[in-house]
Amino acid sequence: VESPAKAKTIGKYLGDEFTVKSSVGHVRDLPKKGLSIKIAPADPPESGWTFTPSYEVSSGKEKIVEDLRRAAKSADEIFLAPDPDREGEAIAWHLGEVLSDVTKGKEVHRVTYNEITKGAVRAAVEHPGEINLARVDAQQSRRILDRLVGFKVSLLLWKNLPYGHSLSAGRVQSVALRLLVEREREI
């Protein structure tokens, strides 16, 4: 699960046959420095472009990942249960990736529930699913856009404005600003 408090509550609901651990949110991200996204023509080229992110374990998460790896290595099955939204789906996918070498040959399940009650949690564990890759792709697309727009536009701000070094640009703000500028030019 994502939070230590949820892990404690869910651990009580599931009993001693389960070890419930927390990832404390995301465990991997794009490196802080550089673009970290490989942009290349798709195959075939007329179908567009591919954007391949390079992830690393987030700074400060090394001990958490190592603890999760130890727990996964000694487990019979692994149930990934972050929140049931696109961020949670991405967290489950990233956990699956960082644990993949210690979970080989073991069943890895995706568990979702909309309320943290004993009945809901037990039902989710009894009827697990799989990671929703469409949600993972949605989260990755958002993250890639954050990096591409933020990285590229922020560099322009830093170079072209006297106070630009204290500014950063995001995928939403940058588009909104462009709409405002275009409208102002029309006026």
Residue 185: how many CA atoms within 13 Å on its side-chain side?
Answer: 6
What residue has token string 């390079």?
Answer: 54
Residue-level pLDDT at 159: 86
Q: What is the C-alpha separation between 102 and 152, in angstroms, rounded? A: 38
The residues near 178 (Cβ < 8 Å, ≥ 6 apart) are none
Residue 56 phi, psi (nearest 5):
-140, 155
The pTM score is 0.86
Res 175: pLDDT: 83
Look at residue 62 in the predicted model and tell me its pLDDT. 97
pLDDT value for 152: 79
> What was the pLDDT predicted at 78?
97
CA distance 18 to 15: 6
From first to last of its 187 residues, what are the pLDDT tens digits of the chain? Answer: 999 999 999 999 999 999 999 999 999 999 988 889 999 999 998 999 999 999 999 999 999 999 999 999 999 999 999 999 999 999 999 999 999 999 999 999 999 999 999 999 999 999 999 999 999 999 999 999 988 887 778 888 888 888 877 777 777 878 888 899 999 999 9
Of the chain, the end-to-end C-alpha distance in Å amounts to 52
